[in-house]
Structure 1
């Protein structure tokens, strides 16, 4: 995957440092992006006239084959065990790292704001200048996706849609007894629907740690994961945000369903949220800001008499979150589609997810995943938006 790291070069020049250093496992998305290497234990990536890795002997062979690095070096090449015997484990690691940097002409490095303090202090003790970066430059670079990255998100979204269909099928085939949903003679619970979602995702090469299947009052809290029996005539929010196991890229989608007959107020809230959703999409184009897209949603809700965080920053009901967020290696990343949202650019992959919430009524949310293009946007979501299930 061809990455444009010119912004990183500019940032290092402005800071007057020789390189950029990351000390983390690939669970850190900036590490995975810059190194192109997936490893469960921490390793070192240096950016200085190219990408250079310092890894253990265990990971050396795989790093040479799989990473994006120009060079891959083993700690053993710096007499690791002899240094451990002489200096102890931690100081040995720092001396090896300092030699690794010196071999590449690096005496000063910028590091992420959350860089390990022990590594920073250890490097300073052996004469390397360490400065926290002034901007989250890798995170900002990651916001603009290549065609290959967009395809990774698209694949993750296909798995997402399969799992949403499995969840919807469970709700559609459920029967109702005393206001409770049943499936195959057993109470249909949030946990049972989540299980179906997770199993379906695995069959499509994706996975997640948690998802949202929230009914009734639970659905009035946007991040309530939901639990217990699902009820007829009440809104059920299903929000699925899986990660493709091969590429590590995420998708995200939300639908709100009712099995039965929703109240007139709930229907009105759903229809209004669909209107807000359409208004947000209409506002998405290169050069627009995330703020402008968010404002389009707030306008719809406020004109209908509902509170938003724009009209009342302390409101606990109404539209109580941002319109969306970037998605990629992290499920929440830049750009922001919020009051603080900056300019949208081609290659930005964002969610659009307006919603209304009130514990006395329930919650509704609709969410699609789109990529900003040169002349507007492409919706990466191919799943129907419907409310009431037969």
Structure 2
């Protein structure tokens, strides 16, 4: 993968900065994207239009030389770091070493991500380096447009996601119903048990996740309620899975809503309307339209059916109470926004479309697919069926 960093070069020129500096672990997606390196301890990436240089610990040096996309890899030990720690303590030692590192590459001014750590920034400023946080979030803008390789990484994560969703659905389908509660192998089938099945399946397919959503009934009326406790018959169960590939770091995202038993007419109507909104939004996806345009399609469908949206009622607590979608990549939520302030869509954008309706007296319904914007429309990366009753 060889990203086009020319927009970052343009930003550095416009802001009259010598380089772009990141000081963080690879859990920061800007760090991972710029460096092409994954490490759980903080390290420094210096990007200039001429080259990219990493400054790492001795522990990471060999691996960074082999795995990163940097033109050079340097060790903090080269800047007498141990001696500086003994004389000045860790914080000042780090500042002195980093300042010397920048000076070696004739870098006297840097732009940083907005959330660059304050202590290191102050330490560099005290040593004459101009440090300014950028406002445009340029690297995030760059990585919103995926290369073919990145799209394949998302596709692979989505394939694992669908296996996990299938395992969850099969578990719910295999459950019996006793006094309105789902029972599996003699015990109540809980949200936690379904999440366990999801996580185990993802691990077997090279993915993991920090959390997932299996929310039933009134719990599902809160879009980000992760769900807990026994699952019930005849109630909508929202399952939202957003795994990360352990090999590539890329995410997928998908939501389905299931009912074990007989859904009420109200749930069926909301499900069918949400499915229609999903398809209408996908049909609107093409280069040149904005995320706001796609969001408006969903709002139109819901408002015409008499439901509140945040577009029609900014304080609505029921109805369609979130945006239509978001970009997906190294972060599960990234640009572009499929929302009222959504940007122009471009080929290579990987986005979700996830309309939903929520009301504690009814429950929640949400359906989510993940797709990539192409030159003439979109490719849906989701093949999992949309069916309410299991």
- Give me the TM-score of the superposition, normalised by structure 2: 0.99
Secondary structure at 2:203's aligned position in 1? helix
Question: Cα offset for 1:306?
Answer: 0.7
Q: Deviations over 1:221-244 (max 9, x none)?
A: 100000111100010000000000
| Counterpart secondary structure, 1:72 | strand
Could you tell me how far apart the structure 1 residues matched to 2:201 and 2:12 are?
44
Residue equivalent to 1:7:
7
SS of the aligned residue for 1:8 comes to helix
- For 1:292 and 1:319, how far apart are their aligned partners in 2? 16
Alpha-carbon deviation of 1:109?
A: 0.4
Partners of 2:87 and 2:365 in 1: how far apart? Answer: 63
3-state secondary structure, aligned to 1:69: coil
Partner of 2:28: 28
Specify the SS of the correspondent of 2:259. strand
Aligned to 1:191: 192
Instruction: Tell me the equivalent position of 1:251.
Output: 252
Shift of 1:134: 2.6
Equivalence for 2:286: 285
Match in the other structure for 2:68: 67
Aligned residues between the structures: 389
Per the TM alignment, residue 111 of structure 1 is displaced from its structure 2 partner at its CA by 0.8
Residue 276 of structure 2 is aligned to residue 275 of structure 1: yes
* In 2, Cα distance between equivalents of 1:361 and 1:220: 8
1:122 CA displacement = 0.2
Within a 5 Å distance, the mapping from 1:187-266 to structure 2 comes to 187-266=188-267
For 1:78 and 1:217, locate their aligned partners in 2 and report how far apart those are by CA, in whole Å.
Answer: 59
- Give the equivalent residue in structure 2 for 1:168: 169
Write the distance in 2 (CA, Å) between the matches of 1:77 and 1:23: 18
Shift of 1:126: 0.9
1:300-327 CA distance string (max 9 Å, x none): 0000111100111111000000000000
SS in 2 for 1:318: coil
Q: Distance in 2 between matches of 1:227 and 1:117?
A: 38
The secondary structure found in structure 2 opposite 1:2 is coil
Segments of 4+ moved more than 3 angstroms: none
Please state whether the residue corresponding to 1:247 is helix, strand or coil.
coil
Residue aligning to 2:56? 55
* Residue 80 of structure 1, CA deviation: 1.6
Unaligned runs of 5+ in 1: none
Aligned to 2:359: 358
Please state how far the C-alpha of 1:83 moved relative to its aligned partner. Answer: 2.3
Shift of 1:89: 2.3
- How does the TM-score come out when normalised to structure 1? 0.99
- 1:94 Cα deviation from its structure 2 partner: 1.2
**Quick one: distance in 1 between partners of 2:221 and 2:94?**
50
**Within 1, Cα distance between the matches of 2:331 and 2:297?**
26
Q: Unpaired runs of 5+ in structure 2?
A: none
SS of equivalent residue, structure 1 residue 385 = coil
Equivalent residue, structure 2, for 1:115: 116
1:304 aligns with 2:316: no
C-alpha distance in structure 1 between counterparts of 2:232 and 2:253, whole Å: 25
Secondary structure of 1:388's counterpart equals coil
Q: Equivalent residues in 2 for 1:66-85 (5 A)?
A: 66-85=67-86
Bigger Cα displacement from structure 2, 367-376 vs 93-102? 93-102
Q: Please give the alpha-carbon distance, in whole angstroms, between the structure 1 residues aligned to 2:209 and 2:87.
A: 45
Q: CA deviation at 1:203?
A: 0.4
Q: 1:375 & 1:174 partners in 2: Cα distance?
A: 44
Answer yes or no: is 1:382 the counterpart of 2:383.
Answer: yes
Q: Distance in 2 between matches of 1:142 and 1:225?
A: 29
| 1:144 CA displacement | 0.4
Distance in 1 of aligned mates of 2:303 and 2:73 = 56
Task: After TM superposition, list the pairs within 5 Å mapping 1:141-180 onto structure 2.
Answer: 141-180=142-181
Q: Could you report, residue by residue, the CA deviation over 1:184-223 in whole angstroms, capped at 9, with x for unpaired residues?
A: 1111111100000000000000001110000000011100
Correspondence for 2:346: 345
TM-aligned CA deviation for residue 359 of structure 1: 0.4
Give the deviation of 1:378 after TM superposition: 0.3
Measured in 2, the distance between the counterparts of 1:84 and 1:119 equals 15
Q: Which residue pairs with 1:19 in the alignment?
A: 19
Deviation of 1:249 after TM superposition, in Å, equals 0.5
Whole-angstrom distance in 2 between the partners of 1:202 and 1:252: 16
Cα-Cα RMSD? 0.7
Partner of 2:324: 323
Cα distance, 1:86 vs. partner? 3.1
